[in-house]
Structure 1
Amino acid sequence: MISIVHVIDGLGWAGMEHMVASLVRCIDKKRFKVTLLSEIPMRDSVVEQAAFLEKEGVRVRFLQKHHRKKFLAIEYARFFNDLKPQVVHSHSGVWRDSCIGAVLAKVPLLFHTEHGRVFLDDNRRTRLTHRILTQFRSGIISVSDELRQFLIEEVHLPVAKVITIQNGIDTDKYMPGNYKSRLRDELGISPETVIVMAVGRINPVKDYETLVHAVSLVKHFLPNNMEFKTVIVGPETRDHLTGGGLLDRLRELSRKFNVEKNLIFLGKRTDVQELLRVADIFVQTSLTEGLSMSIMEAMSTALPTVVTDVGGNRELVEHRVTGFLTHRKDPESIANALLKLIEDDEMRVSMGKKARNCIVEKFSLQAMTKKYEDLYMESLRE
């Protein structure tokens, strides 16, 4: 049996963490012994997720951090020496120390999946380190073709080592259904009101300020006999980079634009699939993306989408067929697309059906998992 360790910065319900959890859960346990290693220690908020993965045959472990960060690579090396995996596969933020640790432990195969540009944009030192460490890796996986080109042309990673494996989702979990009555009652939204939903952590990259501005434009131009609500699902990110406080600024901005009655901030929820079934339209105003799990989940639930034309979004959304691609930081173009969908029931239904078909045919969890399994097997044979 082949031993694989997937390394992430921490467990959680955001897009990247959710994708990795889905992958390790679905990998064939008859051929692979899978360990998920979190760099961040166990927290109360992830106990349930860790227990669920353990039941699915995934060993979940948490790296014992040294109080000085420069010793992280040594902690990784000790862990890998004890476990002796054939494959170490890191994801996004843990790319450096886990790779050094795996090299020190002489792990045969090292892979890294890059899920977005956040750690690489405008950082020459980070890009240089990435290039140096890539010499020791068996391959770099990008989640979108657009991101692959960025890694090759801007980060200058070797073409032969960078491949694309697009994300996939559980299309049986995210599918259309009738939860509208119960959850609309919970949210205090009438059956006639069109619900526009955004799913994602409240942090600067998601650019919710532009969404609030777009909502104000929709309110201004929408006929008086039509009602809409914009529901934002996701916790506020508070870390050393953002410092928090963004949610308060968004609430203040909504009051400034006089749209506080059109906006609902739900915070963290574990019933996203049910909430998506309540929605009529999905919106995302991100400044950058890899291959968005949130968009895929919305499309799988048969929702038309209004998203910014960044990252791999164009690989998911076909403009004017399954949704609308808009310019980033452009509230007018976002509002125009939302108005078209809010005012046209038939367009919403037609685009939603096509969106669902696209995800089922091209972006299933099973297809993604098989590509990763094939990559491991072929690399080990070499």
Structure 2
Amino acid sequence: MTLKILQVASHSDLTRGGAVQMLLLARGLKERGHDVWCVFNRAEKAASHCPTTPSPTSAALRSETAWAEQIAPLSGRLFNLGSLRDMLRFRAWVRSERFDVIHSHREPALRFCFLATLGFSVPAFVTQRGTVYRLPRWGVVRWAFRSPKLDRVIAVSEAVRRSLIANDGLAPDKVSVVYGGYDPQQFHRGIAGDRVRSEFGLDAQTQVVGIVGALIAKKGHADFFEAAARIAEAVLTARFLAIGPGKPERFAAMLEQLGLGERVIFAGYRSDIAEALAALDVLVCASTKGEGLTGAVREAMAVGTPVVTTDVGGNTELVEHERTGLVVPVGSPVDLARATLRLLGDSDEAARLADAAELCVRSLCLNSTRCERIEQIYVQIIEKWGRHTISGE
């Protein structure tokens, strides 16, 4: 069954994990023979989380022509998801294009699609859920999740699925788990981190501990830096790499107080994330809440970098303690430091965990596996309802 599929994201740039995942899915489905379209949120102004100097991809989302080049060979449109006028334009466009599937990513995209399609049915209406946060207590998003109009919620981990069922009252058969994917041609054990190390003056003898994520509270950078201070006392050659967009100056006073000084490097947004991960001796995920399953953890496992993670969200579904990585409690810099020092001090254990981790993600997280599973969900929905076109008014 060849499907005409619309993927809709509320992201206004292509640098965030959710946007990357949507494009991976869209390209994978196109490779499987489907007609796939993408909609992103037209950026009216630079988002606050963007790097000080926006990447070419983030700037492109304010120009539909330039943006089309970024997503080629996919087809797509830009709409302002906060505009009633654009919602009406989107409604008319969706009806004229007669999509078989609408798949929204994040709550604003779901709200936009749900309201825009009121009064007519979509053969398969699906949304992605990537967080363990509870749904809003009221409003359109909660209405959409609980509405029979929404056929399926795709949760990125079992932890997200459990939260939706236990905390938000969704029926178990409405929520399916499909792990986020990665491209094995981009993330693999053959990737070298030498160029990234050289860029920051880090030689082969320097032990590099990294954290990946936007500089926002839930990513746990404060805990990471407290752990880094302990690691720095024990390993004089250790350096710390913070990869991700944001404002490093907010941590200046903390780093000065901890005495880390030049030992912390803020690398900003990286388009070469596979090489950046390969440059690390250990990846630390210090996230404190909200994570469905941290993408950087999956990608580090794919390139063979050992992982220490907090037991946040669904991370322990991939990182099994002392089998595919090390797991510590949320909010404990002492435990983060202890686990990281354990791997820095035992290369054999670090290698053993990295080998098992790579096998784990190759088994569960290849993008081809993800696309096949999601394609099956689309087809199941369409066959269940016996509909293959938008209908009603």
| TM-score of the superposed pair, with normalisation by structure 2 | 0.86
2:174 pairs with 1:158: no
Residue 45 (structure 1) aligns with: 57
Residue 91 (structure 1) aligns with: 105
In 2, Cα distance between equivalents of 1:352 and 1:139 = 34
Shift of 1:29: 4.8
Shift of 1:297: 0.4
Checking the alignment, whether the CA contact within 8 Å between 2:15 and 2:57 is kept in structure 1 is no
Change beyond 3 A, Cα 1:378–1:357: same
AA aligned opposite 1:249: R
Checking the alignment, whether the CA contact within 8 Å between 2:243 and 2:268 is kept in structure 1 is yes
Checking the alignment, whether the CA contact within 8 Å between 2:311 and 2:330 is kept in structure 1 is yes
2:283 pairs with 1:282: yes
In 2, Cα distance between equivalents of 1:281 and 1:64 = 40
Residue 227 (structure 1) aligns with: 237
Alignment of 1:14-93 (within 5 A): 14-29=16-31, 31-41=33-43, 45-46=57-58, 47=60, 50-55=68-73, 58-64=74-80, 69=83, 73-93=87-107
Shift of 1:146: 0.8
Checking the alignment, whether the CA contact within 8 Å between 1:90 and 1:113 is kept in structure 2 is yes
Change beyond 3 A, Cα 1:168–1:200: same
Checking the alignment, whether the CA contact within 8 Å between 1:14 and 1:200 is kept in structure 2 is no
Please, which of 62, 84, 100 is the counterpart of residue 115 of structure 2? 100
Across the aligned residues of Structure 1 and Structure 2, the Cα RMSD in angstroms comes to 2.2
Shift of 1:35: 0.6
AA aligned opposite 1:268: Y
In 1, Cα distance between equivalents of 2:331 and 2:68 = 37
Change beyond 3 A, Cα 1:127–1:341: farther
Q: Report the number of matched residues.
A: 364
Change beyond 3 A, Cα 1:174–1:50: farther
Residue 131 (structure 2) aligns with: 116
Shift of 1:49: 6.8
In 1, Cα distance between equivalents of 2:191 and 2:263 = 23
Please, which of 166, 179, 186 is the counterpart of residue 192 of structure 2? 179
Checking the alignment, whether the CA contact within 8 Å between 1:302 and 1:354 is kept in structure 2 is no
Percent identity at matched positions? 23
Change beyond 3 A, Cα 1:278–1:36: same
Shift of 1:12: 1.6
| TM-score of the superposed pair, with normalisation by structure 1 | 0.89
2:197 pairs with 1:197: no
| Unaligned segments of structure 2, at least 5 residues | 47-55, 61-65, 385-393
Shift of 1:203: 1.1
In 2, Cα distance between equivalents of 1:117 and 1:78 = 34
AA aligned opposite 1:82: S
| Unaligned segments of structure 1, at least 5 residues | 237-245
Alignment of 1:277-316 (within 5 A): 277-288=278-289, 289-316=291-318
